[in-house]
Structure 1
Amino acid sequence: MKLQDAPASITAISGDALRTGSIDSANDLVRAVPSLTITDAGPGQRRITLRGIRSAGDAQVGIYYDETPVAGPPGTTSDPGGSQSDFKLFDLERVEVLRGPQGTLYGAGSVGGTIRLVTHKPDFEYGALVDVSGTTTEGGGQGYQLNAAVNVPIVKDVLAVRGVYFRRHSDGWVDNPGLGLTGINSENSDGGRILVRFVPASWLTIDGAAHFLYTEGGASTWSPSAGKYNAVNASQVPYSDKQRLYSLSAKADLGFADLVATTGYQDRDTLVTRDPTALFRSFKTRATCATHFTAATCATATGFAAYNSYVDGLLPVIYYQPQSVTDWTSELRLQSSGTSWVQWSVGGFYEDRDAKVLSEARRTNAADGSQIAGATPLLQRHVVDHLKQTAAFGELAITPLRGLTLTGGLRYYSYDKTVGGDTTIGLDILRTSVTPWATYKTNNNGWLYKGNLSWKVSDDLLVYGQVATGYRPGGVNQVLGLAQALSYSPDKLTTYEGGIKSSFGGGALVLNLGAYLTDWSDMQVSINSGSFLYLGNAGAARIKGVEAEATLNPTQGLTFNINAAFTDAKLTEDQVPDGVTPLASTARRGDKIPFIAPQTIYFAGQYEWALGSAGWSALVRGDLGYTGASRADFRPTSTSYRKVGDYTLSNARIGVRNERYGVFFYVNNLFNTVARTSAGNTLGGTVETVTTVPPRTYGINLTGSF
Structure 2
Amino acid sequence: MREHKKITTTAIAKVMPNRCRLCPLAAALAAVVSTNVDAQRDGPGQELALEEVVVTATRREATAQETGISINVLSGDALEKNNYTSIGQVLDGVPGVTGISSGPNNNRIIIRNVATSTQEAGSATTATYFDDFAISAARASAPEIRLVDMSRVEVLKGPQGTLFGRSAMGGIVRYISNKPTADKVSAGVKVYFSNTEDGGSNAGGHGFANLPLGDTLALRLVGYSYQNDGFIDNVELGQEDTNDEGTVGGRAALRWVPTEALTADLSYIYQEVEGALGRVTTIHTPSGDLAFNADRRDMVSGIEDQQTDKHDILNLNIEYAFDRFTAALIATSSEEKFKRVTDQREFIGLTQGCACDFLDDGNNSVVDTDILEVRLVSRGDWAVDWIAGAYREEADTRTQQLVRYFGQPALALGFIPLTDGSVQIDAQHALGHEESAVYGELGFHLSAAANLTLGYRRSDVEFSDSWLQASGLFDMVNGATALVGQTFETQEDVNTYKVLLEYSFTDGLFGYASATSGYRRGGFNFPTLTSPFSTFDSDTLWNYEIGLKSSLLGGRLTANVAAYYLDWDDMQLVVQDSVTFARATANVGKAAIPGLEFSLVYQVSDNFDVSFSGSLSSPELKQDVPGGLSGKKGDSLPGSAKENFALAANWRKPLPAGMELFASASYKYVGERLNDFNTDLDVRLPSYDLLDMRAGLVIGDSYSISLFAHNLLDESVVYLIDRQGPGFESVPTNRPRTLGLDLSWNF
TM-score of the alignment, normalized to the shorter chain, above 0.5 = yes
Q: Is the 8 Å Cα contact of residues 669 and 687 (structure 2) preserved in structure 1?
A: yes
* Residue 136, structure 1, aligned to residue 195, structure 2: yes
Q: Taking structure 1 as reference, are residues 339 and 165 closer, same or farther at Cα in structure 2, changes over 3 Å only?
A: farther
CA shift, 1:482, in A, is 6.2
Q: Give the whole-Å Cα distance in 1 for the aligned partners of 2:376 and 2:565.
A: 32
Secondary structure of the residue that 1:236 maps to in structure 2?
coil
- 26-35 or 158-167, which deviates more: 26-35
Q: Give the whole-Å Cα distance in 1 for the aligned partners of 2:259 and 2:596.
A: 47
Q: Is the 8 Å Cα contact of residues 610 and 647 (structure 2) preserved in structure 1?
A: yes
* Residue 350, structure 1, aligned to residue 396, structure 2: no
* Equivalent runs, 1:456-535 vs 2, <5 Å: 456-478=504-526, 483-526=531-574, 535=585
Q: Is the 8 Å Cα contact of residues 427 and 471 (structure 2) preserved in structure 1?
A: yes
CA shift, 1:64, in A, is 0.6
Q: Is the 8 Å Cα contact of residues 498 and 514 (structure 2) preserved in structure 1?
A: yes
CA shift, 1:236, in A, is 2.5
Q: Give the whole-Å Cα distance in 2 for the aligned partners of 1:412 and 1:316.
A: 46
How many residues matched?
Answer: 653
CA shift, 1:646, in A, is 1.1
* Residue 547, structure 1, aligned to residue 547, structure 2: no
Q: Taking structure 1 as reference, are residues 130 and 534 closer, same or farther at Cα in structure 2, changes over 3 Å only?
A: farther
* Equivalent runs, 1:421-440 vs 2, <5 Å: 421-428=467-474, 430-432=477-479, 434-435=481-482, 436-440=484-488
Structure-1 residue corresponding to 2:369: 327
CA shift, 1:544, in A, is 1.1
> Given residue 673 of structure 2, which amino acid in structure 1 is its aligned partner?
S
Deviations 1:63-112 (A, max 9, x none): 1111110235x7xxxxx21x422221110111111110000000001111
Q: Is the 8 Å Cα contact of residues 549 and 562 (structure 1) preserved in structure 2?
A: yes
> Given residue 426 of structure 1, which amino acid in structure 2 is its aligned partner?
G
Structure-2 residue corresponding to 1:318: 357
Deviations 1:555-583 (A, max 9, x none): 1121101110112111112222xxxxx24
CA shift, 1:178, in A, is 0.8
Structure-2 residue corresponding to 1:289: none
Structure-1 residue corresponding to 2:134: 69
* Residue 58, structure 1, aligned to residue 58, structure 2: no
Q: Is the 8 Å Cα contact of residues 419 and 477 (structure 1) preserved in structure 2?
A: no
Secondary structure of the residue that 1:539 maps to in structure 2?
strand
Q: Give the whole-Å Cα distance in 2 for the aligned partners of 1:526 and 1:323.
A: 24
Q: Give the whole-Å Cα distance in 2 for the aligned partners of 1:339 and 1:65.
A: 31
Q: Is the 8 Å Cα contact of residues 24 and 90 (structure 1) preserved in structure 2?
A: yes
Q: Is the 8 Å Cα contact of residues 105 and 273 (structure 2) preserved in structure 1?
A: no
Q: Give the whole-Å Cα distance in 2 for the aligned partners of 1:384 and 1:277.
A: 26
Q: Is the 8 Å Cα contact of residues 44 and 239 (structure 1) preserved in structure 2?
A: no
Q: Is the 8 Å Cα contact of residues 539 and 570 (structure 2) preserved in structure 1?
A: yes
Deviations 1:326-349 (A, max 9, x none): 111111111011365531111110
Secondary structure of the residue that 2:91 maps to in structure 1?
helix
Q: Is the 8 Å Cα contact of residues 137 and 696 (structure 1) preserved in structure 2?
A: yes
Q: Is the 8 Å Cα contact of residues 591 and 621 (structure 2) preserved in structure 1?
A: yes
Q: Is the 8 Å Cα contact of residues 415 and 445 (structure 1) preserved in structure 2?
A: yes
Q: Is the 8 Å Cα contact of residues 479 and 532 (structure 1) preserved in structure 2?
A: no
* Equivalent runs, 1:42-441 vs 2, <5 Å: 42-43=103-104, 45-55=106-116, 56-72=121-137, 80-81=139-140, 83-124=141-182, 125-156=184-215, 158-223=216-281, 225=291, 228-281=296-349, 315-318=354-357, 322-338=364-380, 340=382, 342-364=384-406, 375=421, 377-428=423-474, 430-432=477-479, 434-435=481-482, 436-441=484-489
Q: Give the whole-Å Cα distance in 1 for the aligned partners of 2:252 and 2:330.
A: 17
Q: Is the 8 Å Cα contact of residues 102 and 733 (structure 2) preserved in structure 1?
A: no
Q: Taking structure 1 as reference, are residues 609 and 270 closer, same or farther at Cα in structure 2, changes over 3 Å only?
A: same
Q: Give the whole-Å Cα distance in 2 for the aligned partners of 1:330 and 1:396.
A: 23
Structure-2 residue corresponding to 1:586: 630
Q: Is the 8 Å Cα contact of residues 442 and 476 (structure 1) preserved in structure 2?
A: yes
Deviations 1:632-656 (A, max 9, x none): 1126xx2223332412211110001
Q: Is the 8 Å Cα contact of residues 235 and 364 (structure 1) preserved in structure 2?
A: no
> Given residue 271 of structure 2, which amino acid in structure 1 is its aligned partner?
L
Q: Give the whole-Å Cα distance in 2 for the aligned partners of 1:65 and 1:364.
A: 43
Q: Is the 8 Å Cα contact of residues 378 and 427 (structure 1) preserved in structure 2?
A: yes
> Given residue 467 of structure 1, which amino acid in structure 2 is its aligned partner?
A
Q: Give the whole-Å Cα distance in 1 for the aligned partners of 2:436 and 2:160.
A: 16
CA shift, 1:193, in A, is 0.6
* Residue 669, structure 1, aligned to residue 728, structure 2: no
Q: Is the 8 Å Cα contact of residues 548 and 560 (structure 2) preserved in structure 1?
A: yes
Q: Give the whole-Å Cα distance in 1 for the aligned partners of 2:559 and 2:522.
A: 39
Q: Give the whole-Å Cα distance in 1 for the aligned partners of 2:731 and 2:422.
A: 32
When the two structures are superposed, what TM-score results if normalisation uses the length of structure 2? Answer: 0.84
* Residue 705, structure 1, aligned to residue 746, structure 2: yes
Choose which of 735, 740, 744 in structure 2 pairs with 1:694. 735
Q: Taking structure 1 as reference, are residues 194 and 659 closer, same or farther at Cα in structure 2, changes over 3 Å only?
A: same
CA shift, 1:535, in A, is 3.4
Structure-2 residue corresponding to 1:302: none
Q: Is the 8 Å Cα contact of residues 93 and 645 (structure 2) preserved in structure 1?
A: no
CA shift, 1:376, in A, is 6.1
> Given residue 457 of structure 1, which amino acid in structure 2 is its aligned partner?
F
Q: Give the whole-Å Cα distance in 2 for the aligned partners of 1:195 and 1:478.
A: 43
Choose which of 84, 88, 91 in structure 2 pairs with 1:23. 84
- 650-659 or 244-253, which deviates more: 650-659
Q: Give the whole-Å Cα distance in 1 for the aligned partners of 2:175 and 2:665.
A: 25
Q: Is the 8 Å Cα contact of residues 676 and 690 (structure 1) preserved in structure 2?
A: yes
CA shift, 1:27, in A, is 0.7
- 256-265 or 42-51, which deviates more: 42-51
CA shift, 1:177, in A, is 0.7
Q: Give the whole-Å Cα distance in 2 for the aligned partners of 1:336 and 1:8.
A: 20
Q: Taking structure 1 as reference, are residues 18 and 534 closer, same or farther at Cα in structure 2, changes over 3 Å only?
A: farther
> Given residue 537 of structure 1, which amino acid in structure 2 is its aligned partner?
N
Structure 1 unaligned blocks of 5 or more: 75-79, 283-310, 367-373, 577-581
CA shift, 1:226, in A, is 5.4
CA shift, 1:45, in A, is 4.6
Structure-1 residue corresponding to 2:615: 565
Structure-2 residue corresponding to 1:599: 643
Q: Is the 8 Å Cα contact of residues 104 and 273 (structure 2) preserved in structure 1?
A: no
RMSD: 2.3
Secondary structure of the residue that 1:573 maps to in structure 2?
coil
CA shift, 1:479, in A, is 7.1
Deviations 1:206-260 (A, max 9, x none): 0011011101111111036255000122333311101111100011010111111
* Residue 621, structure 1, aligned to residue 621, structure 2: no
Q: Give the whole-Å Cα distance in 2 for the aligned partners of 1:452 and 1:615.
A: 48
> Given residue 519 of structure 1, which amino acid in structure 2 is its aligned partner?
D
* Residue 660, structure 1, aligned to residue 708, structure 2: no
> Given residue 138 of structure 1, which amino acid in structure 2 is its aligned partner?
E
| Identity rate, percent | 26
When the two structures are superposed, what TM-score results if normalisation uses the length of structure 1? Answer: 0.88
> Given residue 280 of structure 1, which amino acid in structure 2 is its aligned partner?
I
Secondary structure of the residue that 1:434 maps to in structure 2?
helix
Secondary structure of the residue that 1:178 maps to in structure 2?
coil
Secondary structure of the residue that 1:111 maps to in structure 2?
coil
CA shift, 1:691, in A, is 2.3
Q: Give the whole-Å Cα distance in 2 for the aligned partners of 1:433 and 1:270.
A: 23
Secondary structure of the residue that 1:172 maps to in structure 2?
coil
Structure-2 residue corresponding to 1:286: none
Structure 2 unaligned blocks of 5 or more: 1-61, 283-290, 409-419
Structure-2 residue corresponding to 1:371: none
